[in-house]
Amino acid sequence: MALPTSPFWTSSLQNALVALSFSGAIGLTFLMLGCALEDYGVYWPLFVLIFYVISPIPHFIAKRATDDSDAASSACRELAYFFTTGIVVSAFGLPIILARVAVIKWGACGLVLAGNAVIFLTILGFFLVFGRGDDFSWEQW
């Protein structure tokens, strides 16, 4: 069966957006399963949602603060990478610490870590797909 020839199927940006939405939904499903399954039933792992929200903030600040987009590196951009790395490592460390002190079970920790990996790869994919051009604006949606 051939795909329809509508503009939706021909646009690579729209296909990338659908793929990113799907992977984000899978990551959040892992997180919710780690919280809501009957064996686990503790909602402490939902605190990693805070890390999902604040992880792109250093990048946005550095992009706004630096005007030299042609430079290979800048101190502001490197500091943003450092802060983002700290946020991502903290998101992976929180469920491990919660499982180590027996607040959550190790199975829930595994599901949350799998969700973290999928969500952070989705965030990275968003920046690779939609953030590479200088002409990017939110008005194109």
Q: Which of 62, 44, 20, 56 is nearest to 105 (CA)?
A: 44
Report the distance separating Cα 66 and Cα 74, nearest Å: 8
pLDDT tens digits for range 50-60:
999 999 999 98
- Check pLDDT > 90 for residue 1: no
Where helices occur in the chain by DSSP H, the ranges are 7-10, 12-36, 48-54, 57-65, 75-100, 106-130
pLDDT tens digits for range 24-56:
999 999 999 999 999 988 999 999 999 999 999
Question: Directed axis angle between helix 75-100 and helix 106-130, to 10°?
Answer: 160
Q: Locate the domains of the chain by residue range.
A: 18-66+74-131
